A and B are shown apart, each in its own frame.
Chain A
Amino acid sequence: GQQVMQIPQYQHVQEGEDFTTYCNSSTTLSNIQWYKQRPGGHPVFLIQLVKSGEVKKQKRLTFQFGEAKKNSSLHITATQTTDVGTYFCAGPERGAQKLVFGQGTRLTINP
């Protein structure tokens, strides 16, 4: 079935360093969504990308959707302790009313 893979699984950085997580789908996606889950919390929607090659920014976060609409990335510039958490990407499964989530990238930060 359709799979969404994320790398890396874990990332530890010093505060102020940049961070990037990558998401790859086995099939073309109609859209890609990103979610953030703080420790002990629930996933919260961050953004949705729809167009091939789309780039969106939210303050220090930059999201990209690949030209082939099979991959995406999330880049955080100058991480802060508030960025700690697990970042998930997700894409709609073809023919089904549900999302396929990646395994997530857990970000920890040394202050």
Chain B
Amino acid sequence: NAGVTQTPKFQVLKTGQSMTLQCAQDMNHNSMYWYRQDPGMGLRLIYYSASEGTTDKGEVPNGYNVSRLNKREFSLRLESAAPSQTSVYFCASSSTGMGEQFFGPGTRLTVL
């Protein structure tokens, strides 16, 4: 089992460019999450999907969109990247919304 995988691992964008971060899990989990972590800071929830077909805003959703493509995959899109979106992005999944979360290795994004 690969667990939670994320692509790409690293990305550099110019201001205004768009990109999609991909996340997939092979644990048959219902819930999936996108967090961002700024240097030396905690985790902030961007969006989550409690189950296939649903998505909800988290703490910092502005500037992002998400798609729960199927039960396995949950993507995060930056439509027009800004330097303030420079961060490490973690995807996570859990069997239930209250249970243990499994995190992916992260995507390190720099916006110039």
Whether A103 lies near B98 (C-beta < 8 A) is no
C-alpha gap A106/B41 in the complex (Å): 10
Contacts A88-B42, A97-B97, A104-B42 known; list 8 others, CB within 8 Å. A42-B103, A43-B92, A45-B102, A92-B98, A97-B48, A98-B31, A99-B97, A103-B42
Chain A residue at minimum C-beta to C-beta distance from B31: A97
For the complex, is B74 an interface residue (Cβ under 8 Å from A)? Answer: no
B43 near A101: Cβ-Cβ < 8 Å:
yes
What's the least CB distance linking A46 to chain B, in Å? 10
* Chain A interfacial positions (CB closer than 8 Å to B): 30-31, 33, 35, 41-45, 48, 88, 90, 92, 96-99, 101-104, 106
CA distance A90 to B45 in the complex (A): 12
Partner of B103, one of A31, A43, A102: A43
B92 neighbours in A (Cβ, 8 Å): 43
- The contact string, 1 if C-beta is below 8 Å from chain A, for chain B 92-110, is 1000111111111110000
Interface residues on chain B, number (Cβ under 8 Å): 25
Taking the closest CB of chain B, its distance from the CB of A47, in whole angstroms, is: 9
- Complex alpha-carbon distance, A39 and B53, angstroms: 35
Q: Which 3 A-B pairs have the closest CB atoms?
A: A97-B97, A97-B50, A92-B98
Contacts of B96 in A (CB 8 A): 97
Q: How far is the CA of A88 from the CA of B41 in the complex (A)?
A: 11
Quick check: B43 and A96 within 8 Å, CB to CB? no
Within B56-112, the residues touching A (CB, 8 Å) are 56, 58, 90, 92, 96-106
Docked pose: A99 CA to B35 CA in angstroms: 11
For residue B22, give the distance in angstroms from its CB to the closest CB of chain A. 16
Q: 15 A-B residue contacts at CB 8 Å?
A: A33-B100, A35-B101, A41-B105, A42-B104, A43-B101, A44-B103, A97-B97, A98-B33, A98-B45, A98-B48, A98-B50, A98-B58, A98-B97, A99-B101, A101-B43
